[in-house]
Structure 1
Amino acid sequence: MRKAVVYRVTGAVSGLLMTAGNIKGALAPLQAVALIPLFYLGASPKARWRDILTAGLYMGFGYILPQLVTLRFPISVTLVLLVHFTILMIALTAGSAYLLRRRKGTIVSSFAVGALLVVLDWANFTVLPMWGEAQSLGRSWSSYPYLILFTSITGITGIIFVLGTLQALIVNFVILPKLRARSFAAAIILLAIFGAANLNVRSEKPVDKLKVAAVGWTLAGSADDIDPQTEEGFDCLFARPVAKAAEAGARLVVSGELGFYIDKLNRGRWLERFGDIARRHKVFLAIGYLNAELNEDRLLFVNPEGKVVSEYTKTYLTPFEDYHRGTGQINLIEIEGVRVGGMVCHDDNFTSLSRKCGRNRTGVVVVPTLDWPQVKIAHLQSSIHRAIESRYTVVRAAINGISAIISPTGEVLTKDHFTDGPGVIIAEVPIYSSRTIFNIVGHWPVVVSALFLAVIVVRNVFVAII
């Protein structure tokens, strides 16, 4: 009974340490030690599989329940995520125990554990892509962007590989005295490789710069809200902030998702409004709006001549939306020689779209966003990863969320919640022209990890037969 309690507590604590950074980003480093007690117990030949599975169950509860309390999803979504992440953590716990036991006496087990975590994390945001890569176990590390620049090579799963492998090496160092020298050397080499990758990415110099701006506001859902559909509301929420941005030298101004309601009857009047502002201030506008006629969540680009030069329809919808989906076709425009693309809100949780932008050497990606208070931190954490992976600037204009301008190295140059009223953020951003390895190849660590694990399993089966 006492032993069973130890496994339950260990699992719950590991889950809590893994999830702490998702709630408060600064706590992300706790993940670097979260799995050590779990791996230590699992590596022991005395541990019963029933206890190991129980530890995984409690780890799942410890990981997902605090997030569900914070996010306050509807009960159906809550139950699906609870089951999903509980199964994931049980698989993590059981799989790591199997690998640490079967490959005991070699450091291969540590790298196998890292590979297992890569495959499981990929399955996590691929098998049930409710929130895309915002579901990744490594999401919170965007709070420390200079530590994860290597994700422009590996994608977000590279973070998981480092975390899993290092902690498995620590466990092997503790329980296997004969392997201490090799475990220590392997850990140093691993850190050196990823550290060198970070330095290499950071050493690249930008080829250009562009001043951009994001307009944002907050709606409380009360009668006191400013209505953007009225002349007064349009002037307060959009026209004046755009004028302020243009006066500061911005060449591109972005507004939030679904900021305006446009139907067949009033479309001409709205386009005339937007065109007039673009001509008056000689700026490009990227406007989030609802195309009521087609029931599509759209992004509209207007050039300084007041003409519509591109439109994009949101591709990935949340479980709460019933709009018609877009095709995923990314349309690029050019501003002073800089390629600019766009996505809408939830789209930036999916690398299938962000990599398209990166492969086309896009320098700036605009992301009109409409969040709610409980999800805004998690969504911003995820957006930062897309900037690093594809090395472009993100201009994120939010309604009821965090508007932010994020550099290609993941630095948040400026941000604002706009809880005190509508406003605008402005920054001059660096432009890079190179394509990243992740843009070109995608989640290659998943393929390598899966093959590595397959070889280990086949070898174990072959040895058992002999």
Structure 2
Amino acid sequence: MKTLDHWPVSPWRRSAVAVLAGALPVLAFPGPALWWWAWFALVPWILLARSAPSGKRAAYDGWCGGFGFVLAMHHWLLPNLHVFTFVIAALLGALWVPWGWLVRRMLGGAPSAGRAAAALVVLPSGWLLAELVRSWQGLGGPWGMLGASQWQVAPALRLASVGGVWLLSFLVVAVNVAVAVLVAVRRARVPALAGLLATAAATSAAWVWSPRPDTDERVAIGVVQPGIVAGAGSADRRFDREERLTRRLADRDLDLIVWGESSVGFDLDDRPDLARRLAALSRETGADLLVNVDARRSGRPGIYKSSVLVGPEGPTGDRYDKMRLVPFGEYVPFRSLLGWATSVGKAAGEDRRRGSEQVVMEAGDGLRIGPMVCFESAFPDMSRRLAADGAEVLLAQSSTSTFQHTWAPEQHASLAALRAAETGRPMVHATLTGVSAVYDANGARIGSWLGTGASEARVYEIPLAHGTTPYVRYGDWAVHAALLTLAAWAAAEGVRTGRLRRSGPARPEPPARTAHGSPARPGR
């Protein structure tokens, strides 16, 4: 009976299988949200790369699997970017080329128990390297990191407070590697089981020993979600609807009211009438408003997306300009080279302008808030910086109305749970058209989501938390440990290769020659 290692498969069919294998983890994310699936979803991909006939083919399996992973995770971009979605998936998929090669190097053939045990650490480290590179904002940012699939699992959220989403990704990959070894490498089943037990022990230890946020007072924050407003004059009509919804929050003893991304389509210096209406809402509700202005700024070139705090007397002067922009959605990277993307999809016709620094604002009676705008809630370092700077509540103003009937709104809303757990600070994710969500300092959901069909104003009672999580204190130590692991492995492999070359078989001596100079024949 032929095993997977020897089954004849055409290169094209193998590539198609690799693409499908790479796409499997998407089922662990919202919308399906089968979180448990993440702990097994990489096994087919690992077994395929392990069985590659050469390192080059394994690297190609890594590329094809990476293409499938990125395309599946971002499939909702297809109506907007069209064929360019495939180009992006192919470029980012190349980040898994080293990982595919590494899988075969560690698990190919009949690996020893020691090598299989090392794979439980080396392969997750290689995966984190790919996630680290693609987390750069210019390559699309850390959307769809494997650990983010565990956003609703309480023990995983506790681990996130220790090592961030990076630690979760590492552990998820380690479990997948252990399962693959149990399936395919009989001689290494003992270290694979030991790895699974070690993962369970680490999770249990984090559950018991990691510090929990100390909570005391509560604040009341209102979230205003106007819903879909389309057609001519939509900016004015959206403002009118947000105004009506906000008035419903009067007499609720609120500490803050949050509107979504692009909730105000005009610069407030150019439209003092809107600034006066916002100030009147603040007086009527007794709370400051955090709105988001998406407009050309008076006296400065270009369009900014800005979180603006408005009090009873008008804008307070607290403003945060979005720093990390969505590639192709808000700017086109290397526009001189990739500007053609605007002709095949709905890429940004004009680049938005960037802010220069993060801001912690003080609202109402001293509530310190840390605003982010949309895409920025995917970046662990931004929420970590705000928490370290003293923010008591994290806020993300977002709009995914372009992708209203896809998995994008749910995926985006789930990220706030991780940011809350990592920082030990509650987080509010307020959108124009859903999904809006609020999480406490442990990453647990407060109340219910405001879905994509809602046009509503809702109040959330949020317990404030104090203290510092290990992740805020020590940062991305899991990434640094992974890089050190890869460096140590590469050094050990180099030493091992050098020893093998020095101790290789000696060259055979030339055959003895006859008196006439011709080689002697055996038996003569």
State if a TM-score over 0.5 links the two structures. Answer: yes
In structure 2, the partner of 1:370 is: 399
- Tell me: CA distance 1:462–1:2, structure 2 relative to 1, closer, same or farther (3 Å): closer
Change (3 A) 1:315 1:63: same
Other-structure match for 1:36: 43
Task: Name the CA distance, whole Å, in 2 between partners of 1:336 and 1:146.
Answer: 35
- How many positions carry a matched residue from both structures? 458
Residue 424 (1) aligns with residue 453 (2): no
User: Deviation string for 1:74-93 (max 9, x for gaps)?
Assistant: 14641442113321333322
One of 408, 414, 439 as aligned partner of 1:381: 414
Question: Is 1:140 aligned with 2:149?
Answer: yes
Give 1:359 deviation, angstroms: 0.6
The match for 2:381 is 352
- Find the residue that maps to 2:132 and give its secondary structure: helix
Q: How far 1:203 moved relative to its partner?
A: 4.2
Asked whether the equivalents of residues 125 and 135 of structure 1 are also in contact (C-alpha less than 8 Å), the reply is no
Q: Aligned to 1:113, which of 113, 116, 123?
A: 123
* Among candidates 283, 298, 303, match of residue 306 of structure 2: 298
CA distance in 1, matches of 2:409, 2:372: 17
Report if the CA contact (8 A) 2:162-2:471 is conserved.
Answer: yes
CA distance in 1, matches of 2:8, 2:211: 48
1:210 to 219, 234, 251: 219
* Distance (Å, rounded) in 1 between the aligned partners of 2:252 and 2:177: 52
Distance (whole Å) between structure 2 residues aligned to residue 120 and residue 307 of structure 1: 43
Q: 1:332 aligns with which of 357, 361, 364?
A: 361
Alpha-carbon distance, 1:98 to partner: 1.3
> In 2, Cα distance between the equivalents of 1:362 and 1:301?
15
Question: Could you say which structure has the larger radius of gyration?
Answer: 2
Query: Aligned pair in 2 of structure 1 residues 77, 354: CA closer, same or farther (>3 Å)?
Result: farther
> Does the C-alpha gap of structure 1 residues 221 and 271 become closer, same or farther in structure 2, counting only changes over 3 Å?
closer
How far apart, CA to CA, are the structure 1 residues paired with 2:95 and 2:30?
A: 19
Give 1:183 deviation, angstroms: 3.0
| 3-state secondary structure, aligned to 1:3 | coil
Q: Aligned-pair distance for 1:178?
A: 4.9
Q: Aligned in 2, Cα 1:141/1:357: closer, same or farther, shift over 3 Å? A: same
1:198 match: 207
Q: Is 1:275 matched up with 2:275?
A: no
Note if contact 2:155-2:203 (Cα within 8 Å) is conserved in structure 1. no
**Corresponding position of 1:11:** 18
Q: Which amino acid aligns with 2:123?
A: V
> Which residue number in structure 1 is paired with residue 195 of structure 2?
186
Residue aligning to 1:63: 69
Q: Is 2:67–2:94's contact at 8 Å kept on the other side of the alignment?
A: no
* Partner in structure 2 of residue 244 of structure 1: 248
2:55 pairs, out of 20, 36, 49, with 49
TM superposition shift of 1:179 = 4.1
2:323–2:355 CA contact under 8 A, matched in 1: yes
Shift of 1:456: 1.3
Percent pairwise identity? 19
Q: In the alignment, residue 272 of structure 1 is paired with which amino acid? A: R
- Give the equivalent residue in structure 1 for 2:168: 159
- Note if contact 1:301-1:311 (Cα within 8 Å) is conserved in structure 2: yes
- Is the contact made by 2:50 and 2:58 (CA closer than 8 Å) also made in structure 1? no
Describe the superposition over 1:184-232 as per-residue Cα deviations: whole angstroms up to 9, x where unpaired.
2332122221232134457443132211111012235335x8x4526xx
1:257 to 236, 258, 261: 261
User: Does 1:149 find its partner at 2:187?
Assistant: no
Q: 1:324 to 1:86 in 2, by over 3 A?
A: closer
- Alpha-carbon distance between aligned partners in 1 of 2:132 and 2:26, rounded to the nearest angstrom: 17
The question of 1:97 aligning with 2:110 is answered no
Q: 1:191 to 1:290 in 2, by over 3 A?
A: same
What's the counterpart of residue 492 of structure 2? Answer: 459
| Other-structure match for 1:403 | 436
Cα distance change on mapping 1:160 and 1:207 into 2, 3 Å: same
Displacement after TM superposition at 1:367 (Å): 1.9
Per-residue deviation at 1:143?
A: 3.8
In the aligned structure 2, how far is the partner of 1:198 from the partner of 1:406? 19
TM score, norm. by length of structure 2: 0.79
User: CA-atom RMSD, angstroms?
Assistant: 2.8
Report which of the two has the higher share of helix.
1
Change (3 A) 1:243 1:75: same
Partner SS state of residue 242, structure 2: helix
Q: Deviations over 1:105-136 (max 9, x none)?
A: 2112211112111222112212x644322142
What residue number does 1:286 align with? 290
Matched residue SS, 2:320: strand
Describe the shift of the 1:200–1:243 C-alpha distance in structure 2 as closer, same or farther (beyond 3 A): farther
Contact between 2:40 and 2:179, CA under 8 Å: does it hold in 1? Answer: no
- Give 1:289 deviation, angstroms: 1.4
CA distance in 1, matches of 2:379, 2:420: 12
Q: CA deviation at 1:47?
A: 3.8
Q: 1:346 to 1:13 in 2, by over 3 A?
A: closer
Report the 3-state secondary structure (helix = DSSP H, G, I; strand = E; otherwise coil) of the residue aligned with 1:408: coil
Q: Contact 2:282 / 2:310 at 8 angstroms: preserved in 1?
A: yes
Paired letter, 1:270:
L
Supply the AA of the counterpart residue of 1:24: G
Q: 1:216-260 CA deviation, whole Å, 9 max, x = no partner?
A: 12235335x8x4526xx644x223322323433332110111222
Q: Deviations over 1:10-32 (max 9, x none)?
A: 52442132122345242232221
Distance change >3 Å, CA 351–CA 167, structure 1 → 2: closer
For residue 453 of structure 2, give the secondary structure of its aligned residue in structure 1.
coil
| Residue 146 to residue 262, structure 1, CA distance change in 2 (3 Å) | same
1:317 match: secondary structure? coil
- Structure 1 stretch 311-320 or stretch 48-57: which is displaced more? 48-57
Work out whether residues 341 and 365 of structure 1, in 8 Å CA contact, stay in contact via their aligned partners in 2. Answer: yes
The range that moved more, 317-326 or 327-336, is: 327-336
Q: Which amino acid aligns with 2:165?
A: I
Aligned mates of 1:391, 1:77 — CA distance in 2:
38
Distance 1:404 1:3 in 2: 50
Q: Is the 8 A contact 1:202 1:409 kept in 2?
A: no
Which amino acid counterpart does residue 435 of structure 1 have in structure 2? T
Q: 1:269 to 1:438 in 2, by over 3 A?
A: same
